Amino acid sequence: MNLIDALKSRRSIRRYQSRPIPKDLAKSLIDAAQTAPSAGNLSARRYVLVSNEDMRRLLAAAAYGQEHIEEAPLLIAVCADVKASSVRYGSRGGLYAIQDADAATMCLLLAAHDAGLGACWNGAFDDDMVREALHLEDDVLPVAIVSLGWPEESPARPERTRRVGEVSWID
């Protein structure tokens, strides 16, 4: 699959088959996420992989009851390591760490799509509940919970109901 086709065909998948994702495949997704650019090449991000049913249920509760988080065979919490970035960049380090985590999340989503997996980037959750559930330090910020599984749906491309953005060119 070429990149443009992957970008255009990737969808947020929220219904998954119950079969597990092999650990070597999960590891390859993390390897792909790590190819993302990062400020100062610090890779100021962390990943927590969750397949445990009780923990998935707890994270779904933290995500305001989003059922697909509980039902996905694998969750990957992508976190910004604010301290690691702030050591070099001071007060901008928090922003850079979040950007690092976001870039890694997009690479992870594309790698999952390429592997035939369904995935959904979930950003609506209670930070404190997620931080507590995953035993994260105070300076590690959960940025995304990516739900992953073998897709049970194949949604059509959604219609964009609003203007996505304006493009300006200064020549």
Residue ranges of the domains in the chain?
21-149
Tokens read off for 159: 């219609």
All residue ranges of the chain with pLDDT < 50 are none
pLDDT of residue 127: 95
Strand partners, 77: 48, 145
Question: Which pLDDT score is estimated for 156?
Answer: 62
DSSP letters for 110-121: HHHHHTT-EEEE
pLDDT digits (tens, 9 = 90+) for 123-159: 999 999 999 999 999 999 999 999 999 998 676 665 6
Alpha carbon dihedral 135, 137, 138, 142, in 10-degree steps, equals -70
Of the candidates 9, 5, 133, 19, which has an alpha carbon nearest to the alpha carbon of residue 72? 19
Name the percent of the chain lying above pLDDT 90: 80
Q: Note the pLDDT of residue 166.
A: 75
Residue 4 is predicted with a pLDDT of 77
Measured between alpha carbons, how far is 115 from 156 in angstroms, rounded to an integer?
19
Please choose, from the candidates 68, 71, 30, the residue with its C-alpha nearest in 3D space to the C-alpha of residue 49: 30
Closest CA to 129 of 51, 44, 66, 68: 66
Q: What is the pLDDT of residue 157?
A: 65
Is 21-149 a CATH 3.40.109.10 domain? yes
Predicted TM-score (pTM) of this structure: 0.89
